[in-house]
Every structure is written in C-alpha cells, then in structure tokens.
C-alpha cells in the first residue's frame, strides 16, 4: 500500500547539520544576529533554502519574549490616509527598514473610536513589540496612551506642546524659514502663507518659520489663511487670500498639495507664476513636479523619516536608549528662475 508523502517541516537541527555548523550558530544566522562569519551565514542560508525551513515564530516569541510585530498608528479616521503620497512614502521607508528582519507591520487608523480601541487592545494584549505614532494633534489621547504603556513608542514628529522621550522629526521650522527667505531674496515683499491645522506641531512649526523669516526681513506676516494640507483646502485658502489681500505678490504654502491648489486658483484669476505671484511649497512630493509651473519647494526626507522611526524603535526593543533625531530639509528650486534670484 502506498503511504502518503510526509509533510513534516524541517527542524533547526537539520538546517545546522546540512550547513555543517552548530545549532546555536544556525539559530544566530537565521535571526540575523552578530558573531556569525559570512561563510557560515551563507551556508545556513543555503541550507534554509534547500530544506524549505520556516522558523517557528511561536517558539521564538516564547524564547525571546517578542511578538515580531510593530504598529504604525496614525491619528486620523480618514480611510484614504495611507494612500496619501506622504504616508505612502512613510510606509515604504518602514517596510525597507523591516525588510531584513522578522518583524511584520500593522497599520492602524487610530483617529476614530474604533481605531483607538483597536490600538488599546493591541497594547493591552502585547500583540506588538512597539508602536510608531504619527499625526498627533494637541491634547491627542494617543499621546497619553504612549505615556501609560511600558511598550516602546516612537513618535513621527512631536505632538504639539509635548516632548516625547523618543521621536524622529523633520526641521519644519528651518525649512519654512528657507522657503520664505527664498521668496524675500526673489524680490517679493507682500508675502502670504497658507498654514496647515495649527493643532499639529508640524503646521505650527512651519508657521513659526514663516514668521521668523518675515521678521528678519522687516515684512508684515499678517497675510495668513489656514487649511488642512489638502489640494482643495489650499485652493479655498488661496481664494480667501486674494479676496482679503489682492495686492499679495507671493505665497508660501505649508504643503505641496496646498501649493498645487493655490496654483490653480492663481491661474484662474489670471495671475502668472512666478512673474505676478511667487509660490513655494513644502514636502517635495511627486505632485511638485506635475504642476504648471513645477513647484519650488522644501524637500523633507519622508522615506528616511519612516526608516529612522523604525530603526529607532527596533533599537529600543533590543534594549538601546537612542536620542531623538531631527532630519534636515533643503530648498529645491524648479520652474523659471526670476532675474532677481542669486545663482
């Protein structure tokens, strides 16, 4: 009588035997730990592939007291948030940093009661080894959750009015100052700004950078409208600015999406960019290259933000105590350069 083929999974001992190494060396190689020579690491990797070995995650979790998962929680309830170009780059950066690890990523929209409850269940049940928090508003309850849990938490950006223990942020204030100085250096004097929601630290910091540069230049910072970082919000804010300040000659929009919306309104009102009105955005997302004219903007390293948040979180999980990190920004000039700019 024929017997059914065996579906038994290969063991770690069999991997070690096939590779010609000890069980402990095979384990360290599979777990990407140190103190394994390149030759032995390659031999173990070949044995894993030849045997079809799959690590036992449950056994590893018991042995290491780790789950093998991290969470990215964004304080919004909008279902399209993760499809936004900014968050798409953040997720790409996180995924890149996790690629050579055994950690998986869980995404949570934590701005709704349901999302917040889901995150709390993850924390209570220890179904993750650490959390990355983003998009927190002033007084956001997620910040308090981070204070109350023993689970490692890394903030992407700082919550308004707070200074968490671990965070990775971008020099938003310095970048906004660069953008505004660029407009001043271009000969513009009646400069307006479109801010993001000032309940967000990122929006407040960019507004402060605008005010810093205007103060140094001795110019009025009072041409201000607020929006929501979206293209539609930027268009609506630009319409209000033109109504209230028809003599404005430049706009610093605190995101590329808002700057794109502003460009459409200026074009509809017969204002040429940059001859009649100068426009500078912030983010250096793909949309900055698709507008007409292409946007001069402030580049922030969005993908690197995701990568560095993840590296910091994994370092904390491993017992390290890293210091907060501030990533630099830089000016990216596009379109026709007006004659008063220095080159």
The confidence score (pLDDT) of residue 228 equals: 93
CA-wise closest residue to 266 among 245, 290, 289: 245
Q: Give the C-alpha distances (Å, rounded to integers) separating 84 from 79, 81, 88, 126, 229.
A: 10, 5, 6, 29, 11
pLDDT per residue as tens digits for the range 131-162: 999 988 877 888 888 888 888 999 998 887 77
Residues 265 and 323 in one domain: no
Does the pLDDT of residue 24 top 80, yes or no?
A: yes
The answer to whether the beta carbons of residues 264 and 239 sit under 8 Å apart is no
Would you say residue 343 lies in a domain? no
The region of weakest confidence among 42-51, 173-182, 266-275, 322-331 is: 42-51
Residues 284 and 185 in one domain: yes
Residues 138 and 102 in one domain: yes
pLDDT per residue as tens digits for the range 96-107: 999 888 899 999
Would you say residue 82 lies in a domain? yes
Residues 179 and 206 in one domain: yes
Would you say residue 47 lies in a domain? no
Confidence class of residue 112 from pLDDT cuts 50, 70 and 90?
A: confident
Does the pLDDT of residue 339 top 50, yes or no?
A: no
Would you say residue 43 lies in a domain? no
Residues 268 and 179 in one domain: yes
Mean pLDDT across the chain: 88
Residues 246 and 320 in one domain: no
Angle at 92 between CA 87 and CA 97, to 5 degrees: 125
- In degrees rounded to 5, what are phi and psi of residue 187? 95, 0
Does the pLDDT of residue 56 top 50, yes or no?
A: yes
Confidence class of residue 60 from pLDDT cuts 50, 70 and 90?
A: low
pLDDT per residue as tens digits for the range 244-297: 999 999 999 999 999 999 999 999 999 999 999 999 999 999 999 999 999 999
Residues 208 and 279 in one domain: yes
Residues 152 and 266 in one domain: no
Does the pLDDT of residue 188 top 80, yes or no?
A: yes
pTM over 0.75: yes
Q: What is the CATH number of the domain that holds 137?
A: 3.40.50.2300
Strands 330-332 and 296-299: antiparallel
Would you say residue 109 lies in a domain? yes
Residues 258 and 285 in one domain: yes
Would you say residue 16 lies in a domain? no
Residues 307 and 165 in one domain: yes
Would you say residue 253 lies in a domain? yes
Q: Where in the sequence is the domain holding 309, given as residue range(s)? A: 69-169+303-327
Q: Answer whether the bond into residue 134 is a cis peptide, omega within 30°.
A: no
The region of weakest confidence among 48-57, 207-216, 217-226 is: 48-57
The confidence score (pLDDT) of residue 81 equals: 76
Number of domains in the chain: 2
- Reduced 3-state DSSP string for the chain: CCCCCCCCCCCHHHHHHHHCCCHHHHHHHHCCCCCCCHHHHHHHHHHHHHHCCCCCHHHHHHHHCCCCEEEEEECCCCCCHHHCHHHHHHHHHHHHHHCCCCCEEEEEECCCHHHHHHHHHHHHHCCCCEEEEECCECCCHHHHHHHHCCCCEEEECCCCCCCCCCEEEECHHHHHHHHHHHHHHCCCCCEEEEECCCCEHHHHHHHHHHHHHHHHHCCCCCCEEECCCCHHHHHHHHHHHHHHCCCCCEEEECCHHHHHHHHHHHHHCCCCCCCCCEEEEEECCHHHHCCCCCCEEEECCHHHHHHHHHHHHHHHHCCCCCCCEEECCEEECCCCCCCCCCC
Residues 287 and 317 in one domain: no
Overall average pLDDT of the 293-312 stretch: 96
Overall average pLDDT of the 303-323 stretch: 94
Residues 163 and 248 in one domain: no
Would you say residue 249 lies in a domain? yes
């Amino acid at each position: 009588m024929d017997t059914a083929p065996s579906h038994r999974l290969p063991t770690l001992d069999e991997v070690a035997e096939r590779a010609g190494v000890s069980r402990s060396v095979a384990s360290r190689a599979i777990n990407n730990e140190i103190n394994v020579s390149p030759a032995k690491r390659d031999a173990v990797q070949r044995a894993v592939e030849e045997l079809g070995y799959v690590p036992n995650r449950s056994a590893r979790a018991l042995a290491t007291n780790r789950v093998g998962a991290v969470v990215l929680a964004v304080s919004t309830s909008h279902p399209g948030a993760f499809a936004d170009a900014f968050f798409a780059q953040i997720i790409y950066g996180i995924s890149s940093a996790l690629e050579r690890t055994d950690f998986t990523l869980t995404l949570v929209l934590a701005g709704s009661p349901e999302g917040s409850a889901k995150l709390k269940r993850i924390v209570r049940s220890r179904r993750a080894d650490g959390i990355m928090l983003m998009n927190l508003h002033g007084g956001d309850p997620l910040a308090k959750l981070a204070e109350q849990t023993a689970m490692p938490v890394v903030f992407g950006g700082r919550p308004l009015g707070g200074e968490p223990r671990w965070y990775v942020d971008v020099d938003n204030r310095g970048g906004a100052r660069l953008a505004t100085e660029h407009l001043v250096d271009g000969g513009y004097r009646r400069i307006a700004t479109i801010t993001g929601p000032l309940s967000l630290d990122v929006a407040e910091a960019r507004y402060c950078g605008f005010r810093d540069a205007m103060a140094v230049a001795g110019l009025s910072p009072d041409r201000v409208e607020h929006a929501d970082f979206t293209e539609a919000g930027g268009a609506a804010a630009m319409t209000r600015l033109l109504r209230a300040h028809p003599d404005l000659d430049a706009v610093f929009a605190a995101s590329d999406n808002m700057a794109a919306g502003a460009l459409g309104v200026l074009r509809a009102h017969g204002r040429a960019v940059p001859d009649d009105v100068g426009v500078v955005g912030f983010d250096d997302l793909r949309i900055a290259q698709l507008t007409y004219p292409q946007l001069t903007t402030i580049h922030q390293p969005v993908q690197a933000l995701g990568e560095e948040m993840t590296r910091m979180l994994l370092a904390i999980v491993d017992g390290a105590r890293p210091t907060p990190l501030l990533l630099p920004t830089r000016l990216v000039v596009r379109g026709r350069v007006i004659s008063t700019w220095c080159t």
